[in-house]
Amino acid sequence: MQYDHIVVRYGELTLKGKNRKIFTTKLGENVREKLKGFSNIKVNKNRDRMFILLNGEDPEPILEKLKDVFGIGSMSVALKTENDEAAIKNAALELLTKKENVKTFKITTKRSNKEFPIGSQTFNHVLGGYLLSNTNDFTVDVHHPDLEIHVDIRNDATYITSEKILGAGGLPVGSSGKTLLLLSGGIDSPVAGYLTMNRGVQLEAIHFHSPPYTSERAKEKVLDLAEKLTYYGKNIRIHMIPFTALQQKIHREVPHGYSMTVMRRVMLKISEAVAKEENILSITTGESLGQVASQTMESMHAINEVTNYPVLRPLVAMDKEDIIKISEKINMYDISIRPYEDCCTVFVPKAPKTKPRLEKVLQFEAHLDYEQEIKELLANKEVIETSSLRKKSKEFDDLL
C-alpha cells in the first residue's frame, strides 16, 4: 500500500464565477510556497481540484501544513493500487481497519477504465462484501456512513480515498488585496490580523513605540507576533513608528480626559498616511465594542472621524473569551501575554473619557499643531520585514 497523492478541494472560492481562476492561481502559489521544503512533491491543479503528487513523501506533515492554508475546503489522501481486484480489496481493508471511530461504511466505485472486468455497481457489492466478511465490527450504511470509501478505477491505476480532512476555509491570502494592521502587542490585534487573512487579505503592520518609555522587549514581542502571523500567509512588513515626541506633546497639551482620544486619532491619521504611501486600501484594528474606554461607541465615533479610509474591525462584535480562544488556537496567546508595556499603556490618563464628545475633541486639537511631528516620524520610521527577523533568530536557533 502506498499513498500516491493528496486531493485538495477548494473552499468558498468555488462559488466564484468567472473570477475563479484568480483565486485558484493564488491558492496554487500559496500552497507551493507552504510546501517548499518537500522537494519530491508536485502540485497540479485544475478548475475543481488540486492534486499534490507525493512521489514517496509522507503525507502527514504535508497535511499538517496545509491545514492552515486559507482557501482550502477539505483534503483527502489517496491510495494507489494496481487495477487488480485482490490488490484493491487489500488496500480498502487496510484503509478501513486503520481508521478510528468508524462503525459504518459505504463504497462508491467509479470505473472509467472499462477494461476492468467488474462493473462499478457490482464492484460496490463485491468490495463491500469482502470488507464485511473480513472484519467483525463494521456494517454498511449507504445513507449516513462514518466512512465513505471512494474507489476510482482509471486506466493507469486505481485510486482509493476515504475521509475528508477539514481545511482552514476562507479565501487564499493575497486574493483580496492588502490591509494595514494596527499591531499593538496585545491579544486582540493579532487575532484581527488572522481573521482578515482568512478573507484573503495580505497584511502589512504598523506599530507605535515610545522608547525609552517602552522597552526593546515590547518591540520584540510585536515582531514575534508578526512573525507568527506569517505562518498563515506571507511575509509581513512592519512599520515601526517612533511615537515618543508626539505622545509627549499630546500628553502635555491636551486635557488628560481627552488625551487618549486625541492620541488614537493621531495614530489613525498616521496609519492612513502610511497606507496611502504604500497603496494599501484599508486599515484593520483589533477593536471590540465596549472593551475599553477607546472602544466605546462614542470613542469610535470621535476617533474614526479623522479618516475616510475603511477601518476593518473583525472583532467588533466578539466577546473577549472567544478572542482568547482564537489567540490560543493560532499560538499567539503566549506571546501576547508577555508583560511589557506598550505605548498605549504608558501615557494612559487615570480617567480617560469613555464618552468623548467630537466637538470637544476638535476644539482641543485646534490648538495642537502636530503636522510637523507627523512628517518627522514618518521620515524616521523603521520598516522591518519578517523575513529579516528569521535571519536574526537563526543565530539563536543554531544554538539549539
Partner 1 sequence: MIYFDNSATTKPDPNVLDSFIKVTQDFYGNPSSMHDLGKNAETLLRKAREQIANLLSVSNDEIIFTSGGTEGNNLAIKGIALQHQARGKHIITTQVEHPSVLLACEALEELGFQVTYLPVDNYGRISIEELENSITNETILVSVMYVNNEIGTIQPIEEIAAITNKYPKLFFHVDAVQAYGKIPINLNIDGIDFSTLSGHKIHGLKGTGLLYIKNGTILFPLLHGGGQEMKVRSGTENVAGIVALAKAMRIQLDHLNEDQKSLVEMKSELLRAIEKIDGTVVNTPTENAAPHIINFSIPRLKPEVVIHALEEHGIYISTKSACASKSPDKSSVLVACQKNDEVSRSGLRISLAYSNTLEEIKYFNQKLALVVNQLRKGIR
Interacting residues toward partner 1 by CB under 8 A: 215-217, 220, 334, 393, 396-397, 399-400
How crowded is the C-beta side of 58, counted as CA atoms within 13 Å?
A: 4
Contact assessment for residue 72 and residue 113, using Cβ atoms and an 8 Å cutoff: no
Closest to 2 (Cα-Cα) out of 154, 159, 164 = 159
Name which of 58 and 277 has its Cβ closer to partner 1: 58
Cα–Cα distance measured from residue 7 to residue 2, given in angstroms and rounded to the nearest whole number:
15
Name which of 82 and 334 has its Cβ closer to partner 1: 334
CB of 55 to partner 1, least distance (A): 22
Name which of 221 and 381 has its Cβ closer to partner 1: 221
Cα–Cα distance measured from residue 281 to residue 311, given in angstroms and rounded to the nearest whole number:
10
Closest to 15 (Cα-Cα) out of 48, 52, 50 = 48
CB of 397 to partner 1, least distance (A): 7
Tell whether residue 207 is among the known ligand binding residues: yes
CA distances from 252 to 131, 256, 359, 374, 389 (A): 79, 9, 20, 17, 36
Tell whether residue 208 is among the known ligand binding residues: yes
CB of 308 to partner 1, least distance (A): 40
Return the C-alpha cell found at 316. 467588533
Cα–Cα distance measured from residue 303 to residue 300, given in angstroms and rounded to the nearest whole number:
5
Cα–Cα distance measured from residue 90 to residue 290, given in angstroms and rounded to the nearest whole number:
60
CB of 398 to partner 1, least distance (A): 8
CB of 189 to partner 1, least distance (A): 21
CB of 187 to partner 1, least distance (A): 16
Name which of 98 and 217 has its Cβ closer to partner 1: 217
Cα–Cα distance measured from residue 336 to residue 332, given in angstroms and rounded to the nearest whole number:
6
Tell whether residue 202 is among the known ligand binding residues: no
Name which of 216 and 322 has its Cβ closer to partner 1: 216
Name which of 120 and 215 has its Cβ closer to partner 1: 215
Closest to 231 (Cα-Cα) out of 187, 281, 168 = 168
Amino acid at 227: E
DSSP string, 250-273: HHHHS-HHHHHHHHHHHHHHHHHH
CB of 217 to partner 1, least distance (A): 5
What DSSP designation does 139 have? E
DSSP string, 228-239: HHGGGSS--EEE
Name which of 108 and 215 has its Cβ closer to partner 1: 215
Cα–Cα distance measured from residue 247 to residue 244, given in angstroms and rounded to the nearest whole number:
5
Tell whether residue 183 is among the known ligand binding residues: yes
Within 10 A of 19 (CB to CB), how many other CB atoms are there? 10
Name which of 100 and 115 has its Cβ closer to partner 1: 100
Tell whether residue 265 is among the known ligand binding residues: no
Amino acid at 10: Y
Residue 196 has φ and ψ, to the nearest 5°, of -70, -35
CB of 215 to partner 1, least distance (A): 7
Binding-site members for ATP are: 182-183, 207-208, 264, 286, 295
Binding-site members are: 182-183, 207-208, 264, 286, 295
